[in-house]
Amino acid sequence: MKASIAPRGAWARRAVLAGLIGTAAVAAQAQGEVTLYTTREPGLIQPLLAAFTQQTQIQVKTVFVKDGLVERVKAEGQRSPADVLMTVDVGNLLDLVEAGTTQPVQSAALNAAIPANLRGSDGQWYALSMRARVLYADKGLKLPTFRYEDLADAKWKGKVCIRAGQHPYNTALVAAMIAHHGEAKTEQWLSGVKANLARKPTGGDRDVARDILGGICDVGLANSYYVGQMKGSKEGSDARKWGDGIQVVRPVFGGTQPGGTHVNISGAAVARHAPQKANAVKLLEFLVSEPAQAMYAQANYEYPVRKGVALDPIIGQTIGELKVDPLPLTEIAKHRKQASLLVDKVGFDK
């Protein structure tokens, strides 16, 4: 997930939430440090890291790596100072695992907090937050339910808006479709969606809402957290009008074995040569604790991975609780290359 600028008011909410975690800071000897390499915009997670330090007295050194995280860690080898590796896409996280730059973790706290389909079976990686690929739709439509497969139905011809098929948000969904239905049926589906497009796949997810409000299309796919960003924007702003001008439906996968709603994650792993492995595990365990998961929900309108944690009110009222697709993310991620090739094969972005 591309890091995004927080809506007005979010910084204040984060500061308040950070203050709620742990007791007031006391003058104490720091209990060591931990180094975090992350592709996530530091500002989005800084309140969480500050709260971790406040609670544990462990200092967090943050290194923002926009591109080339795998290459950097591999090049550093045993000399790498990285303890925790954090990404905003399960594919990027699994690239780190497959490159041999992570190590397994045995943690009862992590296993108890994170569902099995949202973590590596061998403890190599863990999801920390989720966002769903949901349907934005014209408010005048009656759509109590919707399947991803329905986007290829001819009744939506000329009525679908979406960003580029080669964008990671969409290739992940195509990969999930392959995992559910196989490559041949997914190709047929993708061709059907292309035939239904109202415009060339372009722009971002918020542009889907804009174009629905503008009458260019009736439905489109976009990430759930953008709803919070738009509806949380300043009253009267364009983004607020886009968010208020759509309804949001949670699609599910159909078929003989129906699935749930497709999600992607932000997640993390302990680096293979972590100098401070114990502190790295402490940081991961903190990030899936109830207070930290509440901060994830509030800071960027994300879905917590831990059950029982309240959603941000905007997300709760507009989208609601998810029935997450139970297919393991590792099963979906293995089809990423096939998905990208299919997008080109059907000329989706042309």
Contact 262, 173 (CB under 8 A): yes
d(CA 168, CA 332): 13
Please tell me the predicted confidence (pLDDT) of residue 74: 97
- Identify the CA nearest to 88 among candidates 133, 34, 39: 39
- Angle of CA points 5, 11, 14, to nearest 5°: 120
d(CA 179, CA 329): 10
Buried-state track 23-33, b at ≥16 Cβ within 10 A, e below 16: eeeeeeeeeee
SS3 181: helix
SS3 81: coil
Q: 142 burial class (0-12, 13-18, 19+ CB within 10 angstroms)?
A: exposed
Please tell me the predicted confidence (pLDDT) of residue 22: 42
Check the annotation: does 226 bind a ligand.
yes
Report the predicted TM-score, pTM, of the whole model to 2 decimal places. Answer: 0.86
d(CA 113, CA 128): 10
d(CA 183, CA 164): 20
Q: Return residue ranges of the chain for CATH 3.40.190.10.
A: 10-130+264-315, 131-261+321-345
d(CA 86, CA 93): 7
Contact 273, 78 (CB under 8 A): yes
* DSSP labels, 23-46: SPP-------EEEEEESS-HHHHH
- Give Cα 309 distance to the centre of its chain: 17
Provide CATH code, domain 10-130+264-315: 3.40.190.10
d(CA 135, CA 246): 10
Contact 267, 93 (CB under 8 A): yes
Check the annotation: does 126 bind a ligand.
no
Contact 262, 147 (CB under 8 A): no
Residues of the chain with pLDDT under 70: 1-30
Please tell me the predicted confidence (pLDDT) of residue 111: 97
Bridge-based pairing of strands 126-138 and 219-223 is antiparallel
Contact 332, 91 (CB under 8 A): no
Residues 222-270: pLDDT tens digits? 999 999 999 999 999 999 999 999 999 999 999 877 789 999 999 999 9
User: DSSP alpha helices (H): ranges in the chain?
Assistant: 10-20, 42-56, 69-76, 90-98, 108-113, 168-181, 183-195, 205-213, 225-231, 238-244, 277-287, 290-300, 313-318, 329-333, 336-345
Q: What is the topology classification, in CATH, of domain 131-261+321-345?
A: D-Maltodextrin-Binding Protein; domain 2 (3.40.190)
Please tell me the predicted confidence (pLDDT) of residue 255: 80
Please tell me the predicted confidence (pLDDT) of residue 35: 98
Please tell me the predicted confidence (pLDDT) of residue 346: 98
d(CA 126, CA 86): 10
- Name the token pair of 321: 């609780």
d(CA 257, CA 185): 15
Paired with 37 in beta bridges are 63, 85
Contact 20, 291 (CB under 8 A): yes
Specify the DSSP element, H or E, that contains 219: strand 219-223
